[in-house]
Amino acid sequence: MFRSVAPSPADPVYLLSQQVREDTAPEKVDLGFGVYRNERGLYHELRALGAAKRILAQQDANHDYEVTTGSTAFLTNAAKVLFGWEADILSSGRVTSVQAISGTGAIHLGALFLARTPSFKGKKVYIGTPARGNYVPLFNLVGFEVVTYRHYDVSTGTVDFDSLLTATRTAYAGSIFVLQGCCHNPSGADFSLAQWDTLADEMQAKKLFPLFDMAYQGLGASLDEDAYGLRLFAGRNLELLACQSFSKNFGLYGERVGVLHAVSQDADVAARVYERLRCLIRWEFSSSPAYGARLVNIILSDKELRQDWQAELDKIQKRLADNRKALHVELVEKRSAPGSWSSILSSNGLFCFLPLSPQQCERLAAEFHIHMLQNGRINLAGLNRSNIDHVASALVKVMSSSLSRL
């Protein structure tokens, strides 16, 4: 029976990880991974997380299930991080929060919920490109047709806002727009505050529905600044979905800690949304992993731990920004590298695009043992004092060699 299974498309991230593992050169540099690594290229455990693990061990919390939708205390704290610690909307009864299997699981649950809501029957999902590799198949999987527009302008290294506005002005009412709230993956190109204001005006006027992907809150500017767009929409009494992940900003990648938040018109509607989400969770995966959520809740419930978490998150954000500046200095000021490198400085979060072709990326891996996705996306956390000179020198050689062939 299984002979009828069709071949599946290759996953470039998985293939890259295999390539990195097989490269045994001592000068190897991995810029293709999707998580935060410290200066030594290793997993970084936050101080507050280590403290929370010790506290939880002393509590002997066992390994019992949480309720289907997740711990109420955890969900309350998660909503405070996203919407603001003292946000009025949290006491309005309009916000429904349920635990999901990290950010991707939250997006899937949200997509499934929308696909089974009569108001969205026949509606299309709009996604800016380039996008996370699982966006399009994820929405296709639950029956939505996906329309794409250009999010990133290669010529400027910034958001192609005109392309987005064209999409909003031609979309029918009720169309779903997937918006990354901050630290865009893969480009790092985020909306300015003024662009968020304009986008909110446009989407409100056209009655378009926003689905926010909040995977990197705190890694762009700050916890509050990174949530500006989401809070702007929520403050206008617009209905929306927000998919929150604690993988990156708590370092809980493998624990799969996420939340789906739904903002409804009023508390009565929110109660019905909650019951529908509860059913979908029960039917699909019954409940979410508890361990990571308990750790997050310990940190967010303790003022000192929460402040320490925020302080260390600020340091991580600063290191990413410093790495951006350092790479730009090495390329432009020290080496006068050919091409435009402004996207390094104009982007936010873990990622940015380098102006490289797939062939140039392949050469960097084969000759210089520098690994990245073939679209030129790099993770700034992969740079450190011991490898940045090697990376910059290799980039200049590859770019200069390409120009000499023209």
Is residue 246 over pLDDT 90?
yes
Is residue 401 over pLDDT 80?
no
- Mean pLDDT over 204-216 rounds to 98
- Mean pLDDT over 83-94 rounds to 95
Residue at token pair 């699909």: 284
Is residue 204 over pLDDT 90?
yes
Tell me where in the chain the CATH 3.40.640.10 domain(s) lie: 65-301
pLDDT the model gives residue 337: 86
- Mean pLDDT over 221-243 rounds to 97
Q: For residue range 109-163, list pLDDT tens digits in order.
A: 999 999 999 999 999 999 999 999 899 999 999 999 999 999 999 999 999 999 9
Is residue 70 over pLDDT 70?
yes
Mean pLDDT of the chain: 95
- Mean pLDDT over 263-285 rounds to 97
For 197, other C-beta atoms within 10 Å of its C-beta total 14
Q: For residue range 328-385, list pLDDT tens digits in order.
A: 999 999 998 888 899 999 999 999 999 999 999 999 999 999 999 999 999 999 999 9
* CATH C-level class of 65-301: alpha beta
- Mean pLDDT over 103-114 rounds to 98
pLDDT the model gives residue 37: 94
Tell me where in the chain the CATH 3.90.1150.10 domain(s) lie: 10-44+315-404
pLDDT the model gives residue 406: 42
State how far the Cα of 292 lies from the Cα of 256, in Å rounded to an integer: 7
Task: Report the predicted TM-score, pTM, of the whole model to 2 decimal places.
Answer: 0.95
Q: What is the largest CA-CA distance in the chain?
A: 67
13 vs 201, more confident = 201
Is residue 46 over pLDDT 50?
yes
Contact present, 111 and 138 (Cβ < 8 Å): yes
Is residue 228 over pLDDT 80?
yes
- Mean pLDDT over 214-243 rounds to 97
pLDDT the model gives residue 403: 54
- Split at pLDDT 50, 70, 90, the class of 405 is low
- Mean pLDDT over 303-307 rounds to 98
- Mean pLDDT over 189-199 rounds to 98
Name the CATH topology of 10-44+315-404. Answer: Aspartate Aminotransferase, domain 1 (3.90.1150)
pLDDT the model gives residue 402: 63
State how far the Cα of 50 lies from the Cα of 384, in Å rounded to an integer: 24
